[in-house]
Structure formats: structure tokens, C-alpha cells
Structure 1
Amino acid sequence: MTEKQYEIYYHDIDYNRKALITSLVNFLGDVATYQSEELGVGIDYLMKNEVAWVLYKWDIDIKEFPTYGDKITVKTSAFSLKKFYAFREHEICNDKGQVIGTAKSIWFLINFKKRRPVKILKRFYEVYEIDENCKEELHIDDINELSRVDHEQSFTIRYSDIDTNKHVNNAKYISWAIEAVPLDVILKYRLERVKVTYQKETTYGHSINSKVQVEDKDDSMYCIHRIFDEEGKELTLLETFWKKQ
């Protein structure tokens, strides 16, 4: 288990002074990178071996969003490695040590020059202390299909959306998905859970279209999201779960 402390700054919050889900997602990704760096298999090691980790799935549950000025501790551990895939567990704790959020994530390793999956290197099994014959994995349910489109938004990808792999940062897709939900709807609800499946990468200068189906159930709201590229190909599938405030 690796942990790192973060403070919730003004740029991390929404109108309600609560941390944005995208800020928390960036913390989750950052602590995973931090662990890799600590174990000697970070960005330089990946570049040297011409490989990169690509995020495949998120399942994030937030019991309580931290507020402006709060200090939180974000933890992660490698659950297992299997063929091309890596499975991680995550926790977010408040300053009293109470768990206010949990997450599961699935990643896969690619050769970044060929853009193809590669078997996980033996070095990763060694540093994460995982048996090479390990068959365990974390399961994240598939995301439901859209049956209609209630709202949609289009965006052009900016330079600031790009990560070290020269592709869009994974938190941006969550931001684009939520942007398609009308503000007057969002103001009535609090986000509790996000599920994401990343299907296809996109890069600077391209346009995307974010579509959403909204199911309002009085005290809760459930949304199915799809993000498409300019050719109509699916980039990302999402589900968001909300509770009335």
C-alpha cells in the first residue's frame, strides 16, 4: 500500500466548495504513478522499455466529498497482474482516517510505438510482489447501452487536455460526460458513483460529442453516457449515479 496526502485547493472545488470528481480522479491516478516511481518502474522506466500503462476501467464510489481546505490521504495497492492487465484498489481517507471513497481500476500495458498490448514484464511482478501465476482479478460490471439521447454537448480537444502519452487525460472524459447533463439537474443531486470504460484514444485538435440518457427517480438519478469522436466512433462509456441533495 502506498499513500500520499493532498490538500483541497480552490481550483479543485465546485460551486458548493466540494471537491470535483475530476480532482479526486486525478489524485487517484497521481498516487498510482507515485507508487510506480517509488518502486523504480515509473515514467523513465516505462519510456526506456517503450511501454505505457493505459487505463481501461474505473469504478469509483464516493461516500463524502472533501471540501475546500481539507487534507485527505489517497491510498493505492496493486491487487493483481494477469497477462496484459493490472488491477488496482484505491481508498480516499479524511484527516481522521475515515474512508470517504473507494475505487477499483483496470489498466493494460502497451508498446507505445506499436500501440499494441504487451505481456506484463517480469520486473512488475517482482516490485509489486505478485506471483507470476496469479489468476485473481477485480471485476467491474459492463456499462448499459443508451436507449435514447436526452442531452448532448460537443467539444474540441485542447492542448491542456493532453497527458504524457500525448493523448487525452482520462479525467477529461468524465468531465465531458458530466457537462452533457443540464446544470439545473445536477444542482439537485450529489454524485455518488462513476463507472468508466475507455474504448479508444483521441488526441489534440479533434472534436468529441458527449451524449447522455438521464433517468430521474425522485430521490436519485442514474445517467448513461457515451462519448463519440468526430467520425461517430465510441471513445468512452460511462455511468453516473446521483442522490438528491
Structure 2
Amino acid sequence: METDKNKVGKYEFLAEPFHCDFSHRLFMGHLGNHLLNAADFHSSHRGFGMPYLNPLHKTWVLSRLAIEMDEMPLQYSTFAVETWVESAMRYFTNRNFRIVDTDDDSHVYGYGRSVWAMIDTQTRRPQNIMEIRDGEIMKYVDAEKPCAAQPLSRVRISEGARLVRTIDTHYSDVDVNGHINSVKYIEHVLDLFPVSRYKEYAVKRIDVAYVAESYYGDKLSFYMEQLSEEDFLVRITRHREDGTDETEACRCGIKFVKDYK
């Protein structure tokens, strides 16, 4: 874990065996959790993380996330997540990630891009980021560090997408902010595909656009649209048990490849 407060934070993780799938490579969901943990470490060490914000009834919520991989870490391998704030505005920050081999910084597994909003934990309304510590976040913006991932996508999906699954939400779906965990959506989406697909394909990129919060007890419905053999779109809606008040929660785009390069 880092000891200074540079613009870029770098955090080491282990691809634990029970966080890996049958190919002995890290699950995408666990990688997503590591990215979010790195973001939390980075912001907390610089004074604008949740330990400072929560007593002020504020928190960070994820608005967009894209993870683009050339390769997934193998079990027992150590890897590092670099993260930095590319830009900060009144209501949003753009945060990037770079995933590298701990022992060889030139061995890059992949990249990530994300957009975060600050909200009031009681009203759930957006908050002005520049009012926190007089905009001190701007000291840590690094607009020059490159991120090779493609820009974030809005994930446009047609009304013709077909309903493929509806699930209940449970205790383990809920995170520290009291809503359905951002990465849980990714895991539920990837579970829509059979194991046979993952024996033939790897996930090259996943885009998630978070639209509305879901909570414990909501039902989640998944609507899928297939664009090609490798490209899929998924819309997730939340609704009550009786199916009423259906509202879009998020949209996902998934790109598969036959194998990582």
C-alpha cells in the first residue's frame, strides 16, 4: 500500500484461488471489487474519501464503469491497481485505472474508466464536490497520465430486448451505501451466460451505466439484446414483487473475444 500522497495511487492485490474461475483466472467481479477498493483507498488517503464524507452525511456513488482487459491475472499472482482522478467537476469526477503485474510494470493486464458522483446520504441528491475541503481534490487531478481503455459508453439498448431472467435481491447484494452493490450487477449479468461460453470466450470489455439505485427486496429483471456473436447489451430494471413500478436501474454492454491476445 502506498505511503505518500502522489496523484496516482498504486495498491497491490492477490488473485486468491477461490476468487478465480475454472480457467484459474480472476473473476471479473472480484477484479471490479479491487478497482473500487483502490478508488476508496486513493480518495481516503487524500482526505476526500468515505471516512471523511460519511460523518457529513455524504458519500461517493458510481455512475459509470468500464473495464477493458487484455488478460486476467492467474490464481496466486500478485497484481497492482493504479488509480488516479483524470478530471473533477462540480458534480462528477472521472477516475481511471491501470492493472499491472506487481513484478513487471510493463506487463499490463488492462485498464478501467469510471465516473463518480457525490450524494447526500439522506436526500440521495447530488452534492457539490468543490465544497469539500475547498476543492482540495483538484490537487490530485492528473489529466496527463494516459489510459488506453476506450471512452465510456452510454450503452444504448433498443426496446426490443427480450426478458431473460428476473431475480430477487438478498443481504449479500447490499453494500455499505445501503443499495445494491455496483459490482453485483456485473456478476448477475455475467451469470446470464452459460459456462460453455466462458470455455470458448473471454470477457474483453464490460461497460456499465448506472441509472437508478436499487435496494434490498427489489426484484431485478434482465433484458438482453444480442448484436453479434461477441457483443451483447443488457438492461436491468428494478420493481416491486408484484411487478409494478418497473424502473431502469442500469445498462450493460459486454464484449467477448475468443481469447485474450
TM value normalised by structure 1 = 0.90
Which structure 2 residue ranges, 5 or more long, are not aligned?
Answer: 1-7, 142-149, 240-244
Q: Show the counterpart of 1:195.
A: 207
Choose which of 61, 68, 71 in structure 2 pairs with 1:54: 61
1:7 aligns with 2:14: yes
Contact 1:9–1:68 (CA under 8 A) maintained in structure 2 = yes
Q: Show the counterpart of 2:127.
A: 118
Choose which of 239, 249, 252 in structure 2 pairs with 1:235: 249
Choose which of 170, 183, 189 in structure 2 pairs with 1:177: 189
Q: Show the counterpart of 1:134.
A: none
Q: Show the counterpart of 1:68.
A: 75
Shift, 1:15, TM fit: 1.3
Shift, 1:184, TM fit: 2.9
Tell me the C-alpha RMSD between the 2 structures.
1.9
Q: Which runs of 4+ in 1 moved over 6 A?
A: none
2:127 & 2:164 partners in 1: Cα distance? 36
Q: Show the counterpart of 1:99.
A: 108
Shift, 1:125, TM fit: 3.0
1:109 aligns with 2:88: no
Change (3 A) 1:190 1:67: same
1:233 & 1:27 partners in 2: Cα distance? 29
Shift, 1:183, TM fit: 3.3
Q: Deviations over 1:181-205 (max 9, x none)?
A: 2333343211000111000111112
Change (3 A) 1:114 1:150: closer
Shift, 1:130, TM fit: 5.5
Shift, 1:139, TM fit: 5.3
Q: Which moved more, 1:149-158 or 1:94-103?
A: 149-158
Q: How many residue pairs end up in the alignment? A: 236
Aligned partner of residue 197 in structure 2, secondary structure: helix
Change (3 A) 1:130 1:94: closer
Q: Deviations over 1:35-79 (max 9, x none)?
A: 122113322211122111110001211010011101000010111
Q: Which moved more, 1:23-32 or 1:204-213?
A: 204-213
Shift, 1:153, TM fit: 1.8
Q: Show the counterpart of 2:152.
A: 140
Q: Show the counterpart of 1:226.
A: 235
1:168 & 1:190 partners in 2: Cα distance? 26
1:37 aligns with 2:44: yes
Contact 1:153–1:179 (CA under 8 A) maintained in structure 2 = no
1:18 & 1:130 partners in 2: Cα distance? 33
Change (3 A) 1:125 1:32: same
Shift, 1:122, TM fit: 4.0
Shift, 1:128, TM fit: 4.6
2:23 & 2:140 partners in 1: Cα distance? 42
Which structure 1 residue ranges, 5 or more long, are not aligned?
Answer: 132-137
Shift, 1:150, TM fit: 5.2
